[in-house]
Amino acid sequence: MTATQSHDPATEIFSTRVYKAPKDLLFRMWSNPEHISNWWGPRGFTTTTHAMEFKTDGIWRFTMHGPDGTDYASYIKYTLVSKSRIEYKHFTGNGTDFTVRVAFRDVEGGTEMSFRMTFPSPEIRQHLVEKFGAEEGLISTMTRLGEYSASQDPKALELAIVRQLAAPQERVWKALTEPEQLKHWLGPVGVKLHLRSGDFNVGGHWSLVMTGDGWQQEADGEYLSIEPIHFLKMTHRWKKDDVSYKPTTTITYTLHTYEGKTTMTFVQSGFWSEEARMAHLFGWDSCIHQLAILLDATKADRTLLLVREFDAPIDLVWKCWTEPEHLAKWFAPKPYTCPKCEIDLRPGGSIFLVMRSPDGKEHAMSSIIADVEPQKSLGWVFSAEDNEGAAAIEGGTMVTFDDLGGRTKVTVQTYAAAYTDQGVFMVGGMEQGWNVTLDQMVESALERVSKSSNTKVSV
């Protein structure tokens, strides 16, 4: 059932539809570029994704291909991504930019999704309706979403990562498929990799061993599809300590060239839990960080390990890291301040910060939480844009907490890569920034939290 109306006929187009699908499934249709390319746009259109970070303050760069062969380059900036609402600004490049608000609501038998487009003027709305058929296009798009989502498994758990790499497509393909290349990046930062076998043919098998500080992990799989320099599909499974295996997942890499760079879309599907999916996010983000370094696709990179002991109980230290009102007091290195801090504390949740410089300029940093174990560990992957809206840095941070009987040891392991000149500046200041902020945790947030408990803190 589809009903279309204009909330404000002069500047808006509004449509709502009830889908026989759970909210999580519809949300997945928006977040995975492999899915969105199958329904985005009016019937007859196809979509190629060049970059995608589906999160608050993230971006989506894509090209829509019309049935007449016309290409429409587009850029979306997400201003809010939550399980119940998606908001973004759609930049068209021709002066007809507009904002969109998509809302999801559980109803009997499925999910109601509303889609509201708001234009800066009645003239722009009328132009897009008359020249491009914006009203009919929206209805067609929502219908296609219903058709495509009906063919998908509502219980499937997937992980999608899109990266633009400043390297030729052939070079990226070699890094994905040649053993001598794989050993340099196919493993999280600090992990050693040994490839036991690899028969790079459809039906061939591969196996590897990863080793870290006091641990070892084995994995293997089978190659399912190989389209040289374009597409690779394989299975993946982890061996458990009892020599049995965890459930088998499927991995695909899709490559294409855009504006002199290679867009790599990585998708892993078939996870057995949301916690497993998010743990893999952290691991794969770290791997792709090392892949970018191997390809000389970064302008700078840095890995840090910092260890501090605080004379405070672990519950107070944990609050300083996980409660927005406390994190905002210390996480921005002086003289910067943090006027906005939002935390959705769960695997798959987010941390969104706005840091303000003394001259009033604001810099947003958006993170996806990959690991949460109360008073034990907190991990996230992050990105930040430069002043031009380009991805300046991308990286990840894992913080572990050890209870020392009234004292707390905090270990911070973090990595980042710079992709613009401003990102080089950010990466260059990582070590100083982290040391300053950890000092500030004692000076402000930790002392503030401890007052209610009459606990003395120091470092």
| Within a domain: 446 | yes
More confident residue, 79 or 385: 79
- Out of 275, 294, 313, pick the residue that ends a domain: 294
**CATH of residue 203:** 3.30.530.20
What pLDDT was estimated at residue 6? Answer: 45
- Identify whether residues 70 and 141 lie together within a single domain: yes
Question: How would residue 344 be classed by pLDDT, with cut points 50, 70 and 90?
Answer: very high
Contacts of 402 (CB under 8 A, 6+ apart): 314, 408, 409, 410, 411
What pLDDT was estimated at residue 5? Answer: 45
The per-residue pLDDT for range 271-287, each reduced to its tens digit, is 999 999 999 999 999 99
Residue-wise DSSP of 162-230: EEEESS-HHHHHHHHH-HHHHTTTSS-TT-EEEEEEE--STT-EEEEEEEETTEEEEEEEEEEEEETTT
- Out of 125, 149, 173, pick the residue that ends a domain: 149
Mean pLDDT of 106-116: 95
Candidates 301, 266, 286; CA nearest to 379 is 286
The per-residue pLDDT for range 206-232, each reduced to its tens digit, is 999 999 888 899 999 999 999 999 999
Give, rounded to a whole angstrom, the gap between the first and last alpha carbons of the chain: 62
Contacts of 163 (CB under 8 A, 6+ apart): 51, 263, 264, 266, 288, 292
| Within a domain: 369 | yes
The total of other beta-carbon atoms located within 10 Å of residue 273's CB is: 11
Mean pLDDT of 75-84: 92
What pLDDT was estimated at residue 243? Answer: 83
The per-residue pLDDT for range 2-32, each reduced to its tens digit, is 444 446 789 999 999 999 999 999 999 999 9
- Identify whether residues 103 and 201 lie together within a single domain: no
- Identify whether residues 45 and 124 lie together within a single domain: yes
Q: State what percent of residues in the chain have pLDDT above 70.
A: 94
What pLDDT was estimated at residue 4? Answer: 45
Residue 151 has pLDDT above 90, yes or no: yes
Residue 248 has pLDDT above 50, yes or no: yes
Lowest mean pLDDT among 211-220, 367-376, 438-447: 438-447
What is the count of structural domains for the chain? Answer: 3
The per-residue pLDDT for range 162-186, each reduced to its tens digit, is 999 999 999 999 999 999 999 999 9
What pLDDT was estimated at residue 371? Answer: 95
| Within a domain: 54 | yes
Cα-based angle 298, 351, 36 (whole degrees, multiple of 5): 70
| Within a domain: 458 | no
Mean pLDDT of 357-378: 92
- Identify whether residues 446 and 363 lie together within a single domain: yes
Amino acid at 339: P
- Identify whether residues 71 and 200 lie together within a single domain: no
Which residue range is the domain that position 430 belongs to? 300-453
- The span from the CA of 183 to the CA of 186, in Å, is 6
Residue 134 has pLDDT above 80, yes or no: yes
Range ranked top by mean pLDDT from 165-179, 206-220, 419-433, 445-459 = 165-179
The per-residue pLDDT for range 185-199, each reduced to its tens digit, is 998 888 999 988 889
